[in-house]
Amino acid sequence: MTYLAKPKFHHPGLPKNDLGYTHRDYEGTVSTLCAGCGHDSITAAIIQACFELSIEPHRVAKISGIGCSSKTPTYFLGNSHGFNSVHGRMPSVLTGANLANRDLIYLGVSGDGDSASIGFGQFAHALRRGVNMAYIVENNGVYGLTKGQFSATADRGSKSKRGVTNTDNSIDLAAIALQLGASFVARSFSGDKQQLVPIIKAAIAHKGAAFIDVISPCVAFNNHAGSTKSFDFVREHNEAVNRLDVISGRMPIEVQYAPGQIEIVEQHDGSTIALRKLDADYQVHDRAAAQAFLQHHAAKGQIVTGLLYVEKDADDLHAHLHTVDTPLNALNEKELCPGQSALDKFNASMR
């Protein structure tokens, strides 16, 4: 029903968040993706996460590249400025935007073609710079808009809808994000909203480069037998290491858990994550161990999901560049232009 305008009316009794906004205030236009697309579930999760975090909808800048995934920012946060940039270049546009105004929340949305192929370089460098953002890859292993070619995250040996077997090795973006120094790395599944929503919330709250690889099956081109990114395959091979049950602002965590199962992770902004361990040995603050864990499980054909790594005292590009607290885009002539007197001195030094 994508040709219909989205109705604006809503039930008067819709729950409101701390700021008085309803869920509807975080929505965008009607999706033009295929019915059943995993990406639409991610859109719903982003809406839910922003609603629950009580974010001012206009204080988010949503930036994407090109592809099915990159279309989604029109489907959420209609009161935010969005930027559908060029293929594979979301990270640089987001980096620049972030430099201009450190006070907004930056949500980068990309796909596997966008981030693992054409934009692999930009993906890598934005993470290693520590740009403060939540970088979400909606990973379906295929190029959807151009009708089903393999992407670089397609597993070796997996079959395309036309029956072609992929012979290239796949790129595990989460594993690479770990290697590149991302200070928050998670993987989730579009079909598991319970896991995905708190991960998105935690990524937004994280100060630093937060990366989420979301396996998001393509119902049109990659949901068949022989695919390793189909709903069925992911459900069968999902190896969740933990679940983020609660993410709160500075509120105390009230949910009760059996001892030993829960780890409380304090985020830089004062928010708190309650992490329920599903794998008792998994250490969420050990980057090297996380990398090894991913590799071992990938070799067994398992898809490890959950919060894979979080750095306790992460900082961001602004901290590295030692920029002023005022957003750079708010500085005026007085603060930026040194005037003729400085020029007189400069001229004198050049003779």
Partner 1 sequence: MPTAKSSAAPISRVNDFVVRFANVNGSGSASANEMFARAIMRMGVPVAPRNIFPSNIQGLPTWYEVRVTEANHLGARGGVDLMVAMNPQTFDKDIAGIEAGGYLFYDSTKELPASKFRPDITVIGVPLTAICNREYTDPRQRQLFKNIIYIGALTALLDMDVKAVEQLIGEQYKSKPQLIEPNLKALNIGRDFAILNLSCPIGLTVRKADKVGDRIFIEGNASAALGAVYGGATVCAWYPITPSSGLADAFTKHCEKLRVDPETKKAKYAIVQAEDELASIGMVIGAAWNGARAFTATSGPGISLMQEFIGLAYFAEIPAVIFDVQRAGPSTGMPTRTQQCDIISCAYASHGDTKHILLFPENPAEAFEFGAIAFDLADRLQTPVFVMLDLDIGMNHHLSRPLTWDDSKKFDRGKVITAEELEAGKDFGRYLDVDGDGIPFRTYPGTHPTKGSFFTRGTSRDRYAKYTEEGAPYVDNMQRLVRKFDTAKDMVPRPLQATSVNQTKYGVLYFGSTAPAMDEAIHMIEARGHALDRMRIRAFPFHSSVNSFVADHDFVFVVEQNRDAQLRSLIVNECGIDPVRLVPILHYDGTPITARFIAKAIGDHLDQLKLTPMKVTS
39 in contact with partner 1 (CB under 8 A): no
Residue ranges in 311-350 that form contacts with partner 1 under rule CB under 8 A: 317-318, 321-325, 328-329, 331-333, 335-340, 342-343, 346-347, 350
- 62: β partners: 82, 107
Handedness of CA 215, 135, 208, 81 (dihedral sign): negative
Structure tokens at 45: 């999760």
What is the Cα gyration radius of the chain?
Answer: 21
In Å, what is the CA distance from 198 to each residue of 57, 170, 220, 245? 18, 27, 28, 7
Q: Measured between alpha carbons, how far is 82 from 60 in angstroms, rounded to an integer?
A: 9
Tokens in use for 324?
């002023």
Q: Which stretch binds partner 1 (CB under 8 A): 53-61, 150-158, 181-189, 294-302?
A: 53-61
Per CB under 8 A, 130 contacts partner 1? no
Cβ proximity to partner 1: between 50 and 284 the closer is 50
Candidates 73-81, 172-180, 181-189, 239-247; binding stretch for partner 1 (CB under 8 A): 73-81
74 scored as a contact of partner 1 (CB under 8 A): yes
Number of residues that bind partner 1 (CB under 8 A): 60
In the chain, the amino acid numbered 146 is T
Tell me how crowded residue 125 is: count the other CB atoms within 10 A of its CB.
14
Candidate list 95, 110, 140, 188; residue touching partner 1; CB under 8 A: 95
Residue among 2, 54, 103, 146 that touches partner 1 (CB under 8 A): 103
56 binds partner 1 (CB under 8 A): yes
Report, in Å, the least distance between residue 101 CB and partner 1. 5
Among 8, 250, 300, 351, binds partner 1 (CB under 8 A): 351
226-242 burial, b at 16+ Cβ within 10 Å, e below that, comes to: ebbbbbebbeebbbbbb
Provide the pairing of β-strand 81-84 with 242-248: unpaired
Interacting residue ranges for partner 1, rule: CB under 8 A? 56-59, 61, 63, 73-74, 78-86, 89, 91-101, 103-104, 121-122, 124-125, 129, 317-318, 321-325, 328-329, 331-333, 335-340, 342-343, 346-347, 350-351
